[in-house]
Structure 1
Amino acid sequence: MQAGDTIMALSSGSLPAGVAVIRLSGPLVQPALQQLAGVVPKPRQMSLRHIGRNKRLDQGLVVFFPGPNSFTGEDCAELHVHGSPAGVKAILAELRNQGLRLAEAGEFTRRAFENGKLDLVEIEGLGDLLGAETEKQRQQALARYDGRLTQEIDHWRDILLDLRAEIEARLDFSDEGDVAQDLPQSWQVQMAELELAIATALASVESGRIVREGIRVALAGPPNAGKSSLINALSRSDIAIVSDEAGTTRDVREVPLDIGGQLFILLDLAGLRDTDSRAEAEGVRRAQKAINEADIVLWLRAADIDDDTRPETKGRLLTIGTKADLGSATECDLLVSSETGQGLSALVARLAELGADMAGGEPALVSHARDSAALTAALDALAECRNQLGNWELAAESLRRASAALERLIGRLDAERVLDRLFASFCIGK
């Protein structure tokens, strides 16, 4: 990425398409519009123009967004043209001749960050929004992109400034008679409220992660318990191979499923048994690992298989009696039949109920590993401050470190080390 360049990109979907959107940003936007469309339209008003001044390339809508009131903070423009591969290629070639270059992945958004239009928290929300597949993911990502978490962080930083001011007054004016040695009661109240607010946000990280990444549901049990058949029945596809031969499934297969707007990741696992086959033994090992890491484990007991074991797991455990059309397994939470469809609706409803409980009512704003690390660091610094109130210098430094942890989260400190990794996941043209 080179600062000062004028960049361009196809920001819409793959071609051919009904409409293609070409985005521009940088100092050469206005000359490029003059050359390509014959005029720079009035700001933020779409204008129908012939595209191509010396040689007509297309006809489309042109809109101009002058900086700094634009997405990137620079002069920006969009060309809404016909989604013809040849037409788009010709327009991009003409723009390249005028000194523009193709944007790299995430370069428009990176410029928005560098020009103070978005912070890192909002950018992560935008990235999550672009990748949202379910309604809850969309709600969570949009709230983060809209700046709700940034507003919370700014409020916490204001409180930290007030707390530091009280302590630093005792450092700078300790010999003044109007500065008491003891901190006022309001300081203790503010400190306690701040610790509670940050701790509450930190406690919601797991529910936020579940919304963003999905609830991992492991379908486990002995061979031929009906795991692959149940996966196919729930997903209404033939994605998993079903066979009477034990050991058919030897790897962890992930199947996404949207239940009530919440993403569930169904894991089809190898049947758990002792085996001399090294390939199957590896599948069993991976299955056991997936069970240990799953949020929900569906332990399958088939009516035609004698099995009374229950796995150890950190997640929620449901015992599902499969092949209910052949009979009823004992001590099961639910009975289902992939063959007849019996009990499938009840199982989906139970998963939706568990998912709603795990994800919470309002989607959590914190869901990334960076969130957890920053909030934990801030809480640790606040705890150190309490332990160091007998030493004003150390207490003030602890409060400064708490502020730095929050500033690092929104990208006002040490942003460069996360930028490349963050923007690499963005699509071209965003």
Structure 2
Amino acid sequence: MTAGSTIFALSSGAAPSAIGVVRVSGPQAGAALTALAGRLPQPRRASLARLRDGVGAPIDQALVLWFPGPDTATGEDLAELHCHGGRAVIAAVEEALAALPGLRRAEPGEFTRRAFANGRIDLAEAEGLADLLSAETELQRAAALANAGGALSRQVEDWRTRVLVLSAEVEGVLDFSDEEDAAGLPECFTWNIGALAEELGEWLARPRSERLGEGFRVVLAGPPNAGKSTLFNALIESEAAITSPIAGTTRDVIERSVALGGAAFTFADTAGLRVVEEGASTDEIEAIGIGRARGELTRADLVLWLGAPDEAPPGAWKI
């Protein structure tokens, strides 16, 4: 358990809300709960209490919970006050806590940091928790929940154990190689190494978790007047890009982020790409748009090329 001050913070959504949960963690958590609620409730059982400030003035009627450490979310003594979620109520509760000796407002991420320092979570679970709080799509939520629950940590530990077993087998053969009856490596050794290498390769080939958070970047490219803007509007379900039968309508890059099938995507509509022959007259604005479109191709996770189905993109080797 980490030594130091006792911290508190609003752990639920920003006020106003129906319920506001104020969490207190540290060696003075029990004393703080007793000071506001007048008593320490039975551990891990919700109890109704009238909260009062330091001079005895009523603050709110709330459900209070007491979790003695170290078997808590932070590994320390922990108290929770489930109050009404009005701004004035939360402010009064925080003011009463701040007035108590040894208590201070928590810094951003400090509850998670204490949980990590006390061995309640590892770094992968801490990352998963942060990702879960910021998840906006179903895929983000599912991946973050798995990491927060220790799925990645358990997988890494399994790999570590298998590597140690394989290493021990090799060391055993080397240590006793000078003995006449020494056994060699088992027949399955090579297969086991190959299976582990293949499994690690599959994991490393998966999209990085950052891609789930940032979204997959899809660039719509093709020659002028190929229907890129029409498809772009259909994908984002909005008339964000101007469409016209006149070629070269799109001059700049237009981006929109949407969630499709539980995944985050950023679609980019670009100017029509074409090869300008040497000596041919060009529109300066169009040339700038083509340059920006080419730049978008290098940033894309996926390029959707719109063009004639029976031929390669014109001048593809130059584009």
User: Normalization by structure 2: what TM-score?
Assistant: 0.80
What whole-Å deviation, never above 9, does each CA across 1:139-185 have from its counterpart, x for those lacking one?
Answer: 222222222221121111112222332344466666777755x4343
Q: Which position in structure 2 is the counterpart of 1:149?
A: 152
Could you tell me which amino acid in structure 1 is paired with residue 85 of structure 2? G
What is the deviation of 1:290? 1.9
Q: Which position in structure 2 is the counterpart of 1:112?
A: 115
Q: Which position in structure 1 is the counterpart of 2:82?
A: 80
* Secondary structure of 1:196's aligned partner: helix
Identity among equivalent pairs (%): 48
| Cα distance in 1, alignment partners of residues 93 and 107 from structure 2 | 18
The structure with more radius of gyration = 2
| Cα distance in 1, alignment partners of residues 130 and 138 from structure 2 | 15
Q: Which position in structure 2 is the counterpart of 1:290?
A: 296
Contact 1:241 1:249 in 2 (8 A): no
What is the deviation of 1:291? 2.0
Unaligned runs of 5+ in 2: 275-281
Aligned residues: 303
Change (3 A) 1:55 1:221: same
Contact 2:5 2:104 in 1 (8 A): yes
What is the deviation of 1:240? 4.6
Q: Which position in structure 2 is the counterpart of 1:268?
A: 269
Contact 2:242 2:249 in 1 (8 A): no
What is the deviation of 1:36? 1.0
What is the deviation of 1:117? 1.1
| Cα distance in 2, alignment partners of residues 139 and 131 from structure 1 | 12
What is the deviation of 1:226? 5.1
Q: Does 1:257 align with 2:262?
A: no
Q: Which position in structure 2 is the counterpart of 1:237?
A: 238
| Cα distance in 2, alignment partners of residues 14 and 284 from structure 1 | 45
Q: Which position in structure 2 is the counterpart of 1:392?
A: none
RMSD between aligned residues: 3.2
Change (3 A) 1:164 1:18: same
What is the deviation of 1:133? 1.7
Q: Which has the higher contact order (CA 8 A, sep 6+)?
A: 1
Contact 2:307 2:313 in 1 (8 A): no
| Cα distance in 2, alignment partners of residues 68 and 34 from structure 1 | 19
| Cα distance in 2, alignment partners of residues 294 and 129 from structure 1 | 26
* Secondary structure of 1:129's aligned partner: helix
Q: Which position in structure 1 is the counterpart of 2:16?
A: 16
What is the deviation of 1:267? 1.4
| Cα distance in 2, alignment partners of residues 212 and 78 from structure 1 | 31
Matches within 5 A, 1:183-194: 183-194=185-196
What is the deviation of 1:35? 0.5
Contact 2:64 2:80 in 1 (8 A): yes
* Secondary structure of 2:70's aligned partner: coil
What is the deviation of 1:232? 3.6
Matches within 5 A, 1:284-323: 284-300=290-306, 309=313
| Cα distance in 1, alignment partners of residues 22 and 234 from structure 2 | 43
| Cα distance in 1, alignment partners of residues 89 and 298 from structure 2 | 53
Matches within 5 A, 1:149-228: 149-169=152-172, 180=183, 182-203=184-205, 205-206=206-207, 211-222=212-223, 227-228=228-229
Q: Which position in structure 2 is the counterpart of 1:335?
A: none
Matches within 5 A, 1:51-62: 51-53=51-53, 54-62=56-64
What is the deviation of 1:90? 1.5
| Cα distance in 1, alignment partners of residues 62 and 128 from structure 2 | 31
| Cα distance in 2, alignment partners of residues 270 and 100 from structure 1 | 58
Change (3 A) 1:254 1:109: farther
Q: Does 1:126 align with 2:129?
A: yes
| Cα distance in 1, alignment partners of residues 46 and 105 from structure 2 | 23
Q: Which position in structure 1 is the counterpart of 2:277?
A: none
| Cα distance in 1, alignment partners of residues 250 and 198 from structure 2 | 51
Q: Which position in structure 2 is the counterpart of 1:92?
A: 94
| Cα distance in 2, alignment partners of residues 192 and 262 from structure 1 | 33
* Secondary structure of 2:135's aligned partner: coil
Contact 1:6 1:29 in 2 (8 A): yes
* Secondary structure of 1:61's aligned partner: strand
Could you tell me which amino acid in structure 2 is paired with residue 276 of structure 1? E
